[in-house]
Structure 1
Amino acid sequence: MHDIIGRQRDNWNHLLLHSTNSLTLAASAMAALAPAAPGTVAALKASAGVLFATAAATMAAVNKIQPSQLAEEQRNATRLWRQLERDVSYRAAAGAVVTDADVQEAMDRVLALDAAYPLPLLPGMLEKFPKTLEPARWWPKRQVKNKPAAQPKAIINGARRGAMAGNGWTQDLEDEMRGIVRVLRAKDEQEYVTTGKLVLTVNRGLAVAGPVLAGTAAVAAAFAGPGEAGSWASGAAVLCGALAAAANTVEHGGQLGMLFELCRNVAGFYRKVQEDIEACLDEADVDRRENGEVFETKVALLLGRSTSDLRQFGEMASPSFRDEDIKDFAGKLF
């Protein structure tokens, strides 16, 4: 269903883009002809005004729903639903014992994903012009475990280093993972949040400019006609109509809504990697963690790096290492 609706909304974007531009450019042509055709000036003025007003209303509605962003939401939802289906199918086919906790986890993932990418257009549509950009979240919130009472630092370090000798975990590997989390938070996620905010600002400006220019052209077309004043009004209508078509083309032809949603989703991807690493490291008993070598390989694949590449991030776990000194990004896929 998400795949079908994603294709439908992508078709909406192309159809509405070309339809609105056709209305605007046709109205501009009529407004340009009005001063040179005194006998039909009333018909041309009325036709141009109606077309400009229709284009303005259409632009306002399309800018509100952002079809390219809607299509990107459903594309990402389709990928994540298929990933969830594969995870559940693999677990069921592996022959392992499925517990109530496994069922509850799968249900939580279904509900979180359904809330992150709703199917209905109205009501329930995600906000298209939020005041702040938050990374997309399609996974359940992690339950915070009660931490044990604080112990003397020497005792903690001693026990911890002794425990690190099992299940593929070492102190260096833990430092490496903490360094990756820090780089993801300071560089990768922040990069896409910043870019998303820039795209959102440009998109918001064009969403306002298009209907305003088309509405101005409709008003100017009402005064088009023979004479110097009519010629100036005709020129203003043509100019505003052309600018409205240009703004509409940049916004929806350039799919700025899709670009904003892409930045939001990528930032969410890096946020999820951070939380997965933190959840693993928060488990004090290393025997209950995922195997350290397997987990390192999985993180490397998610970030598009080799396991040897990850070792450079170990030093960044040190508190003495400042965020400003981090130059490289942890992820190489995006």
Structure 2
Amino acid sequence: MAGIEISSSQKLLFSNSTFPSSSQPRRGKVVSRVLMNPVSLPKLCNRGNLVEELERRSKSYTLISTTTLLETQNNNFSRPNTKCPHDSDHHQLIIAELYAIMEAVSDRVEMHKNIGQQRDNWNHLLLNSINGMTLTAATMAGLAAAITTGAPPPTVALKLSSILLYVAAAGFSVLMNKIQPSQLAEEQRNAARLFKQLHGQIQTTISLGKVDINDVNEAMDKVLALDKAYPLPLLGAMLEKFPSKVEPAKWWPQQEKRKAQGRKTEENNSNGWNRKLEEEMRQVLGVLEKKDVAGYIKLGSIALKLNKVLAISGPLLTSLGALGSCFIGTSTHSSWPVMMGVMAGAMATVVNSMEHGGQVGMVFEMYRSNAGFFKLVEESIMSNINEKDVERRENGEILEMKVALQLGRSLSELNHLAAASSSTRHDEEIEEFASKLF
């Protein structure tokens, strides 16, 4: 019956467990019903067939596992590894280098700030000392001339004291005019401000997250350029205080010069640039070069000439005072030694007060730094305009905003300046300066 064989043991099992012993008639009916409706059970195979089936399935599973492993490996090799530990370590190394540069920059800020205060104190202390010695020497020269000839010892003492003070004042004056403490203090103030600015730039670069080795190299170049532009030591590294030619200060690294290309900018915006903005930047560049840079170079030349005259006049007048004190009392009928000894000292005090009290050296350095600031704005605009690939330029809208802020103008005022410059004829010069800040 449907290929099912019921052994005697199975019959016994049915009879003992399924059917109660007390109901024999019912047992027969149930057994006959089971036999009439057989259960569909899987056919049991012998031992040999079972072993073959297991081997076949084992080979099939092994083939499937090998194929899956190969596909997984191929996917891993073809898919870019965005979380490579090596790339992460390299990124962290760049961040660490930028933080190290930031620490050095912070230290530079404090160094220049402290040394700037020290050199500003030099200016006040030396000026007060030189003026005090000069006035005292002039007073002694006058007292020596007023004493009668009957008391030679006081006259000699006053004369010698006056000469000694004049010589000391002349020596200090030469030293002070050589180093120009007010100019040194201005240099350190500028350096501290620029190092603070660099510190903020590096911090912004780190905050944006997109850093590479070029950012590290650029930061290093800027630090070294600032160190060269504003040196801390005096001996062997001090900037020339009386240059033969006034040039704008330069505290930024040498930028790579790009050749101007003839490609036209598209009308639509590309990286914030268009023809109108490019022409506007060209006009602003022309005004900066003709008015602002040239104007501050001219003012710097005037301040330099005035400082040279005062630097020579101070020690010269002090030396004349010492010379006059030497001849006091040698001729009773001549008054020129007295006049020279007293008046030269008074005039030397006035000259020293004008030069160092008025901080003419600081004014010269301020004009030179202002010219350098506008020169930096010029180079920033020019490097972007001369770049052939518009996508490699700095964003045009951001650059326009930065230039406007650097010149102390709004965007509308910057557009007005460019329009006024473009409407001016070539033989005429625009009267307005580009900067409203200085």
What range describes the TM-score normalised by the shorter chain of this pair? Answer: over 0.9
Change (3 A) 1:267 1:92: same
Amino acid at match of 1:8: Q
What SS is found at the alignment partner of 2:266? Answer: helix
What SS is found at the alignment partner of 2:258? Answer: coil
Where does the alignment leave 5 or more consecutive residues of structure 1 unmatched? 151-155
- 1:246 paired residue number: 350
Amino acid at match of 1:83: Q
- 1:67 paired residue number: 181
- 2:128 paired residue number: 18
- 2:399 paired residue number: 295
Change (3 A) 1:211 1:85: same
Cα deviations by residue, 1:68-119 (Å, 9 ceiling, x for unpaired): 00000000000001111111112112222x1111111111111111100000
Cα deviations by residue, 1:19-52 (Å, 9 ceiling, x for unpaired): 0000000000000111222321111111101111
1:122 aligns with 2:232: no
- Structure number with bigger Rg: 2
Which structure exhibits the higher relative contact order, with contacts defined as CA atoms closer than 8 Å and separated by 6 or more residues?
Answer: 1
What SS is found at the alignment partner of 1:162? Answer: coil
In structure 2, C-alpha distance between the alignment counterparts of 1:262 and 1:249, rounded to whole Å:
19
1:112 aligns with 2:222: no
What is the CA RMSD across the aligned residues, in angstroms?
1.8
In structure 2, C-alpha distance between the alignment counterparts of 1:82 and 1:92, rounded to whole Å:
16
- TM-score normalised by structure 2 residue count: 0.71
- 1:173 paired residue number: 277
Amino acid at match of 2:313: A
- 2:164 paired residue number: 50
Tell me which of 354, 376, 398 is aligned to 1:272: 376
In the TM superposition, what is the alpha-carbon distance from 1:230 to its structure 2 partner?
Answer: 5.6
In structure 2, C-alpha distance between the alignment counterparts of 1:180 and 1:61, rounded to whole Å:
43
The answer on whether the counterparts of 1:175 and 1:317 sit within 8 Å (CA) in structure 2 is no
Equivalent pairs, count: 324
Amino acid at match of 2:171: A
The answer on whether the counterparts of 1:31 and 1:234 sit within 8 Å (CA) in structure 2 is yes
The answer on whether the counterparts of 1:300 and 1:306 sit within 8 Å (CA) in structure 2 is yes
Same amino acid, percent of matched pairs? 49
Change (3 A) 1:279 1:268: same
In structure 1, C-alpha distance between the alignment counterparts of 2:297 and 2:427, rounded to whole Å:
17
The answer on whether the counterparts of 2:266 and 2:274 sit within 8 Å (CA) in structure 1 is no
- 1:186 paired residue number: 290
In structure 1, C-alpha distance between the alignment counterparts of 2:388 and 2:423, rounded to whole Å:
21
In structure 2, C-alpha distance between the alignment counterparts of 1:143 and 1:317, rounded to whole Å:
28
Where does the alignment leave 5 or more consecutive residues of structure 2 unmatched? 1-110
Q: Higher mean Cα deviation, 138-147 or 245-254?
A: 138-147
The answer on whether the counterparts of 2:267 and 2:275 sit within 8 Å (CA) in structure 1 is no
The answer on whether the counterparts of 2:119 and 2:182 sit within 8 Å (CA) in structure 1 is yes
- 1:321 paired residue number: 425
Amino acid at match of 1:61: L
In structure 1, C-alpha distance between the alignment counterparts of 2:356 and 2:427, rounded to whole Å:
37
- 1:133 paired residue number: 246
